[in-house]
Structure formats: C-alpha cells, structure tokens
C-alpha cells in the first residue's frame, strides 16, 4: 500500500526538498548510491571487478527541464567513460542511461536524446564497452525502443530494458529476442495506471516468467534484472533447458541490495553485473528503492525519529 504513495512522492518537488534537506537522509541514501563523483566511485568499480563482478554505471539524473541540462548529463557520461578507459575493463564496465536525463521529454526531445546518446555510445564503443537504455514510465517506451532500434543499426550491442508489469512487454520481448540483442528484464519501478500495467505483484511475477521464457528461448543475450530468489532460480532452470552456457546470459542486481547473493552467484560461475548509481541527483532513484521495500522506509523513518 505504501509503495504507490512513495512513488507519487518521488515526483513531487516539495517532497524532494524536504527529503533532500533532512540531515539523516544521507546515511540511508549511501546504502544505494556508490558516491557523488566519478573519482569517488572508481574504487567501488575496481573492488567489484576484483570480486569477479561486472558493473553497469548510472550517472544519476532524470526528468531534466532544459536542453543545457541534457548536455551536462551527456558530458557527465563522457567523463565517466574517460575515467573507465584506464581501468581496462572493456564490456565488464558498461553504462546505463535514462533518456529523460538526455532531454527526451523536451520539445523535439526524441531527436535531442538520440543525438546525445549517440555521442555517448560512440565514446563507449571506443573503449570496448556498451550502453543499456534504462526504461522509465510507460509514456517513454515507444520513443526509447525506437532510439534503441536506431542505435542498434550502428551499435548492435546496445541494450534495452523491458518491464514485466506493462501489458505490452510480452510482445516487446518477442520482438527483441533476436540475434545479438541484449535485453534486461525487470519488474518495473514506476507508478503505472491499471490500463497499461498489472497492479498485482503475483501477476507481475507471472508475466516476468513468461517474458523470461521468451528471452531465454530466443537468440539474444538475456539480462535478468531482479533480486527475487524465486525468479533467479527459475532463470537458472530455463537457461539449462535452453542449453545456454553461463556466458550467454547474466544476472543483474542493484548496488547495495542482496550483495551476498551477488557474490554467491558469481562464485558459482554465473555472470553477475551490479548496477551502480552515483552522482548528486539521487532523489528519484532513492525514492524508488524505498518504494520497493517498506522495510527500507521503516529504517529511514526510524533514523529520523532517533535524532
């Protein structure tokens, strides 16, 4: 019940000001955000790599309101790519990008976002790595998948994200399960209306399994973005059934969530990629993490109360 309330608050400017200013917020935020700057985050990336984990890097930011901010966001990714180059990790350290931070929602935003992301994908390709387009609320899906399709003409390894809570996603999975495609399947983190998305958690999970079956049986590279132990077990089973070797799919989890499980799966020989978010614009990302798990909110409120 609390999840939708927190998700609504995640898009409120007033709540953004209140939560960001609360002195106790920071330690809770730090659980999910690896750092504020690229230099501060590089040691985390190296540590993950040393533990046999791969990463996908998210420079925090979304829903920008003017084109100058879009260029700023693009440049932050270019700076990240510069910092990744000397680590020599290649595709073991890729990028995740929210197109709303590249101007997608502005007037003429589709083309603006395409121009900005193309520059980033070109730079990523030069250091031997890839980019995955995060998926945001349902109004952005057509534009994001169209940009993904355009990018794939020159950069076939560009990844897409699909959200099992959306009714349309089973069709999208069928379309995306083609040779060479990289598709991250997640449950979905935004507040969506009942006309476009399953509202019941059980239905979201069942849809996730149906999508997983399509992706595993297809010819692409499935990226299983979940912390849900049941779905992880089902994915392992489906991979065996589809005759996939461990390099032909990967698990993905968020920084700060189920870290022991991340390391356990990697130690068992699975590919595991950790989604690492960093930067100062953490509010929306943080609130979605609170919404996913009421226990996180309780922890946050307890720290407020004990001050």
Residues at the binding site for FAD are 135, 163, 187-189, 201, 226-227
Is 134 part of the annotated catalytic residue set? yes
Measured from the CB atom, is 36 or 259 closer to ligand FDA? 259
Contacting residue, 253, 265, 272, 276, with ligand FDA by CB under 6 A = 253
191 touching ligand FDA, by CB under 6 A: no
> What would the two tokens of residue 57 be?
């890097």
Nearest distance in Å: CB 243, ligand FDA: 25
Nearest to ligand FDA of 80, 297 (CB atom): 297
- Taking the C-alpha atoms of residue 11 and residue 243, their distance in angstroms, rounded to an integer, is 43
Which entry of 184, 271, 273, 281 is annotated as an active-site residue? 184
* Rg of the chain (C-alpha set): 18
Residue 184 appears among annotated catalytic residues: yes
Beta bridge partners of 132: 96, 159
Determine, following the binding rule CB under 6 A, whether residue 282 of this chain makes contact with ligand FDA. no
Query: Is 189 among the residues that bind ligand FDA (CB under 6 A)?
Result: yes
Residue 266 lies near ligand FDA (rule: CB under 6 A): no
Selected from 275, 282, 285, 300, the binder of ligand FDA by CB under 6 A is 275
Binding string to ligand FDA for residues 219 to 238, with x set by CB under 6 A, is what? ------xxxx----------
Given 117, 135, 145, 238, the residue binding ligand FDA (CB under 6 A): 135
| φ/ψ (deg, to 5) at 106 | -80, 170
Q: What is the nearest approach in angstroms of ligand FDA to the Cβ of residue 256?
A: 7
- Closest contact distance (angstroms) between CB of 259 and ligand FDA is 10
Residue set of the binding site for substrate: 98, 288-289
Query: Residue with the closest Cβ to ligand FDA?
Result: 227
Which two tokens mark 167? 């009714």
Smallest distance from the beta carbon of 290 to ligand FDA, in angstroms?
7
Catalytic residue from among 134, 172, 205, 281 = 134
Q: Decide: 276 and 45 in contact? Cβ < 8 Å.
A: yes
Q: Which residues bind ligand FDA (CB under 6 A)?
A: 134-135, 161, 163, 186-190, 225-228, 252-254, 257-258, 275, 289, 292-293, 296
Catalytic residue annotation: 134, 184
């Amino acid at each position: 019940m609390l999840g939708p309330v927190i998700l609504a608050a995640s898009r409120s400017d007033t709540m953004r000001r209140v939560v960001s200013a609360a002195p106790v917020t920071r330690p809770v935020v730090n659980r999910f955000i690896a750092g504020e700057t690229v230099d501060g985050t590089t040691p985390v990336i190296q540590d993950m790599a040393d533990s046999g984990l791969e990463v996908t890097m998210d420079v925090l930011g979304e829903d920008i309101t003017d084109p100058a901010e879009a260029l700023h966001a693009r440049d932050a990714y270019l700076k990240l790519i510069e910092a990744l180059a000397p680590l020599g990790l290649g595709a073991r350290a890729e990028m995740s990008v929210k197109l709303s931070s590249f101007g997608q929602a502005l007037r003429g935003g589709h083309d603006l976002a395409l121009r900005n992301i193309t520059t980033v994908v070109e730079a990523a390709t030069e250091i031997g790595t890839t980019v995955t387009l995060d998926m945001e609320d349902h109004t952005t899906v057509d534009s994001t998948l169209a940009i993904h399709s355009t990018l794939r003409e020159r950069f076939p390894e560009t990844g897409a994200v699909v959200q099992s809570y959306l009714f349309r996603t089973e069709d999208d999975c069928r379309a995306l399960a083609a040779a060479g495609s990289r598709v991250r399947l997640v449950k979905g983190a935004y507040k969506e209306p009942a006309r476009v998305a399953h509202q019941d958690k059980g239905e979201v999970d069942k849809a996730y399994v149906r999508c997983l079956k399509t992706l595993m049986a297809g010819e692409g590279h499935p990226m299983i973005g979940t912390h849900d132990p049941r779905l992880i077990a089902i994915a392992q089973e489906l991979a065996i059934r589809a005759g996939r070797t461990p390099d032909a799919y990967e698990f993905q989890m968020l920084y700060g969530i189920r870290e022991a499980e991340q390391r356990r799966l990697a130690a068992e020989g699975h590919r595991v990629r950790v989604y690492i978010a960093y930067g100062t614009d953490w509010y929306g990302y943080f609130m979605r993490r609170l919404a996913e798990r009421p226990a996180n909110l309780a922890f946050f409120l307890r720290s407020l109360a004990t001050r």
